[in-house]
Amino acid sequence: MLVRLVDVVKEFNTGRGRLRALDGITLDVRDGEFLAVVGPSGCGKSTLLSIIAGLEAPTSGSVAFLGEQRAQTRTAMVWQDTRLLPWRVVDRNVGLGPEFRGRPEEERRGIVQRFLRKMRLEGFEQFFPRQLSGGMQQRAGIARALANDPEVLLMDEPFAHLDALNRRLMQLELLQVWEQTGKTVVYVTHSIEEAVLLSDRVVVLTAGPGRIKDFVDIDLPRPRSAETLAHPGFQAATARIWQLLEGEARRAEARLLNRE
């Protein structure tokens, strides 16, 4: 166990009173695992990542990391909208973490070069984010996260904006990077297929307030590749997750309609 959440509840104050986003989440993130989180829109997936990252405090319940350090120094986030600083070139975006921590220039250069190479961005050091394709921007976002040397990489629908072909390429690249680095990953996605292709275990959340509906172990062989998509176990796992999610998705949808 690397991170343990016990009975985590998160409520927000809104114009319509208090809103419960997460309700009684008890979850161990295991060291080195690739954990996917799926659930209907608004069920609290991003909130869950923010709580693990220490960006939000739970209203009640606890989040504990193995060891003493704080969440902020042990996690790094990759966002859907990359959140690269538009006025900084790639090299200076990726070096942000080491720079904030006051690492000497030479060390910072080494770290940046290593992760730019790993994410296949050599030659683009001096490009601004807007000069990169969507896939390359995401690669820079992942390089920036890895440059912080986090134990847990938190990813919030990182490839949702990419076209289907690039999304597939990025998924396969992420699998390689994960295998090379041995990081623990918590990966939020709307895509059942993506969750099954990438992860060791999928946690399925209910329609908001998010509770844990079930866990599904993904026992497909590693290393995974595009061939994994044709594995009979792949079909079985996606069918199982859909079975768990369908009712929740309908509930979330109905709730939205009633609000309008």
CB-wise, 14 or 258, nearer to ligand ATP? Answer: 14
Contact 72, 172 (CB under 8 A): no
Q: Which of ligand ATP, Mg ion, none binds 75 (CB below 5-8 Å, type-dependent)?
A: none
Q: Which of ligand ATP, Mg ion, none binds 242 (CB below 5-8 Å, type-dependent)?
A: none
Q: Which of Mg ion, ligand ATP, none binds 47 (CB below 5-8 Å, type-dependent)?
A: ligand ATP
Residues of the shown chain interacting with Mg ion in the complex, contacts defined by CB under 5 A: 46
Residue facing Mg ion at closest CB distance: 46
| Burial category of 165 from C-beta neighbours within 10 Å (exposed 0-12, middle 13-18, buried 19 and up) | exposed
Shortest separation between residue 31's beta carbon and ligand ATP, angstroms: 25
Contact 145, 78 (CB under 8 A): yes
Q: Does 258 bind ligand ATP (CB under 6 A)?
A: no
CB-wise, 43 or 197, nearer to ligand ATP? Answer: 43
Q: Does 47 bind ligand ATP (CB under 6 A)?
A: yes
- Residues 7 to 36 in contact with ligand ATP, rule: CB under 6 A: 12, 14, 19, 21
CB-wise, 39 or 150, nearer to ligand ATP? Answer: 39
Number of residues that bind ligand ATP (CB under 6 A): 13
Question: What's the distance, CA 53 to chain centroid?
Answer: 11
Shortest separation between residue 42's beta carbon and ligand ATP, angstroms: 4
Q: Does 208 bind ligand ATP (CB under 6 A)?
A: yes
Shortest separation between residue 209's beta carbon and ligand ATP, angstroms: 8
Q: Which of ligand ATP, Mg ion, none binds 95 (CB below 5-8 Å, type-dependent)?
A: none
Contact 237, 218 (CB under 8 A): yes
Do strands 60-65 and 3-14 pair parallel, antiparallel, or not at all (unpaired)? antiparallel
Closest alpha carbon to 144 in 86, 81, 83, 96: 96
Residue from 4, 9, 33, 42 in contact with ligand ATP (CB under 6 A):
42
Residue from 3, 25, 43, 241 in contact with ligand ATP (CB under 6 A):
43
Binding footprint of ligand ATP on the chain (CB under 6 A): 12, 14, 19, 21, 39, 41-47, 208
